[in-house]
């Protein structure tokens, strides 16, 4: 009986422990909220760093672009200033070569003073330029070159009247040559110091010059560095030394062979017809018949009975040499009448035979 009694007793159901299953897909656990926050922070930090780098690169790129633009602007301004300065130089030497005479000394000085004002303006504009640090040295040399040119013109203006006096002042002519030496020095400074330094700065910045640098040639002829050449260009004769001695038996001087106008040789024994306008140019043919080289040979033409005349200069003649020189009248002569024209090679110191220095011609200007 006990056997059946035990069999009727209810059995307690065994407990089954449920195991949690790992999610499929590699077996990773989903991130917690703290891990997600850290990930988002890391991504944000990387994004910020990228933005900062891009900003820095952008700023640097802008700085490089601004620097390159500043260098190009400076180069263009430098080129423009030198071009203006060269034009000022051309104007100055045109004035010196074309307007020299004692009667025009005051007018010529007025012209040169106006040219000096132009040079002052160019120097002033150079001081106002915006100068990138890369070309500081070159800009300093540019200011020096323009200052030399300005000073040279001032020196010439201060001496031109004395140089063109009835008796030319040797000191004044020497001072004009010294002023021209400043121009030569300015050309050297510009070509050998300004241009190389500025071009090197552009090359270091990988900037190609927009145009070739200006040549910067202010002095047209090295002859202007010598007083004899200056006197010749001004059509004046330097005074001979007071103690200059003539050598006995030594021939000195010139013979005027012929004179022509427009390719037609003037005749002494018959009337010549010459156009009065524009003022005619007379071409002298002469020979150094002496035994010495002569500098600054002076030529003159005078229309008798009028105030019309002209002067010219031959820089140098050598013994036995036949050469030519020209004289242009300062104004148109009267027309409709026959006038006597005298052409003369001005006698030089120690010249004893002057009978062959002058030729006269009857000329009708029309």
What's the whole-number mean pLDDT along residues 164-179?
Answer: 87
Contacts of 274 (CB under 8 A, 6+ apart): 261, 262, 280, 363, 364, 365, 366
Question: Alpha helix locations (H) across the chain?
Answer: 2-8, 33-98, 105-127, 136-163, 170-189, 195-204, 227-234
Q: Where are the domains of the chain?
A: 56-234, 254-365
Model confidence over 184-216: pLDDT tens digits? 999 999 999 999 999 999 888 888 888 899 888
Q: The dihedral of CA 36, 41, 42, 43: what is its sign?
A: positive
What was the pLDDT predicted at 8? 53
Residues 332/322, Cβ–Cβ less than 8 Å:
no
**pLDDT class of 3 with cuts at 50, 70, 90:** very low
- Token pair of 225 as six digits: 């560095």
The residues that bridge with 316 in the sheet, in sequence order, are 295
Contacts of 314 (CB under 8 A, 6+ apart): 232, 286, 296, 297, 299, 323, 324, 325
- Token pair of 56 as six digits: 């820095």
The 3-state secondary structure of 200-223 reads HHHHHCCCCCCCCCCCCCCCCCHH
Higher per-residue confidence, 13 vs 294: 294
Question: Is pLDDT of 231 > 90?
Answer: no
Neighbours of 161 (CB within 10 A): 15
SS3 265: strand
What was the pLDDT predicted at 26? 52
Domain 254-365 has CATH 2.60.40.10: yes
What was the pLDDT predicted at 232? 81
- Token pair of 339 as six digits: 């006038």
Q: Which phi and psi angles does 310 have, rounded to 5°?
A: -165, 160
Model confidence over 270-316: pLDDT tens digits? 999 999 999 999 999 999 999 888 888 889 999 999 989 998 888 88
What was the pLDDT predicted at 294? 87
Residues 166/201, Cβ–Cβ less than 8 Å:
no
- Token pair of 320 as six digits: 């036995």
If you average pLDDT over every residue of the chain, what do you get?
Answer: 86
Length of the chain: 366
Residue 303, H or E segment:
strand 294-303
- Token pair of 330 as six digits: 């300062």
CA distance 147 to 183: 10
Neighbours of 243 (CB within 10 A): 5
Higher per-residue confidence, 295 vs 173: 173
b/e code 44-56 from CB counts within 10 Å (16+ = b):
eeeeeeeeeeeee
Residues 259/359, Cβ–Cβ less than 8 Å:
yes
What was the pLDDT predicted at 57? 66
What's the whole-number mean pLDDT along residues 334-356?
Answer: 92
Contacts of 286 (CB under 8 A, 6+ apart): 254, 255, 256, 257, 297, 314, 317, 322, 323, 324, 325, 345
- Token pair of 103 as six digits: 């009667």
Model confidence over 32-51: pLDDT tens digits? 778 888 888 888 888 888 87
**pLDDT class of 4 with cuts at 50, 70, 90:** very low
Q: Which phi and psi angles does 139 have, rounded to 5°?
A: -65, -35
Model confidence over 123-141: pLDDT tens digits? 999 999 999 989 999 999 9
What was the pLDDT predicted at 159? 93
Question: Is pLDDT of 11 > 80?
Answer: no
Higher per-residue confidence, 198 vs 67: 198
Strands 272-274 and 358-365: parallel
| Single pTM value for the model | 0.59
Question: Is pLDDT of 81 > 60?
Answer: yes
Lowest mean pLDDT of 9-18, 76-85, 236-245, name the range: 9-18
**pLDDT class of 27 with cuts at 50, 70, 90:** low
What was the pLDDT predicted at 302? 94
Question: Is pLDDT of 19 > 80?
Answer: no
What was the pLDDT predicted at 52? 80
What was the pLDDT predicted at 67? 74
What was the pLDDT predicted at 47? 80
Higher per-residue confidence, 313 vs 257: 257
The residues that bridge with 340 in the sheet, in sequence order, are 362
Residues 305/277, Cβ–Cβ less than 8 Å:
no
**pLDDT class of 166 with cuts at 50, 70, 90:** low
What was the pLDDT predicted at 245? 73
CA distance 47 to 111: 71
């Amino acid at each position: 009986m006990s056997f059946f009694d035990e069999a009727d007793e209810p059995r307690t159901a065994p407990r089954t422990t449920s195991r949690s299953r790992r999610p499929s897909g590699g077996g990773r656990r989903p991130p917690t909220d703290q891990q997600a926050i850290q990930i988002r922070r890391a991504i944000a930090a990387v994004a910020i760093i990228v933005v900062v780098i891009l900003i820095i690169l952008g700023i640097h790129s802008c700085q490089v672009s601004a620097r390159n633009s500043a260098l190009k602007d400076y180069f263009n301004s430098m080129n423009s200033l030198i071009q203006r300065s060269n034009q000022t130089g051309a104007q100055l030497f045109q004035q010196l070569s074309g307007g020299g005479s004692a009667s025009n000394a005051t007018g010529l000085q007025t012209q040169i003073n106006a040219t000096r004002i132009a040079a002052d303006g160019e120097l002033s504009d150079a001081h106002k330029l915006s100068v990138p640090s890369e070309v500081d040295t070159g800009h300093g040399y540019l200011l020096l070159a323009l200052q030399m040119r300005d000073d040279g013109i001032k020196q010439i203006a201060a001496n031109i009247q004395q140089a063109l006096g009835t008796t030319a002042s040797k000191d004044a002519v020497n001072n004009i040559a010294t002023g021209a030496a400043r121009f030569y020095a300015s050309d050297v400074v510009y070509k050998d110091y300004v241009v190389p330094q500025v071009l090197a700065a552009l090359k270091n910045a990988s900037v190609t010059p927009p145009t070739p640098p200006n040549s910067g040639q202010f002095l047209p002829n090295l002859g202007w560095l010598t007083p004899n050449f200056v006197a010749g260009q001004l059509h004046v004769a330097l005074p001979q030394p007071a103690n200059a001695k003539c050598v006995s038996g030594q021939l000195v001087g010139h013979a005027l062979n012929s004179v022509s106008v427009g390719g037609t040789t003037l005749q002494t024994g018959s009337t010549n017809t010459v156009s009065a306008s524009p003022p005619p140019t007379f071409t002298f043919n002469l020979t150094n018949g002496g035994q010495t080289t002569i500098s600054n040979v002076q030529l003159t033409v005078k229309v008798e009975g009028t105030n019309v005349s002209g002067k010219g200069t031959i820089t140098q003649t050598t013994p036995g040499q036949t050469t030519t020189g020209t004289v242009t009248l300062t104004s148109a002569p009267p027309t409709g009448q026959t006038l006597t024209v005298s052409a003369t090679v001005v006698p030089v110191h120690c010249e004893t035979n002057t009978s062959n220095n002058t030729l006269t011609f009857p000329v009708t200007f029309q």
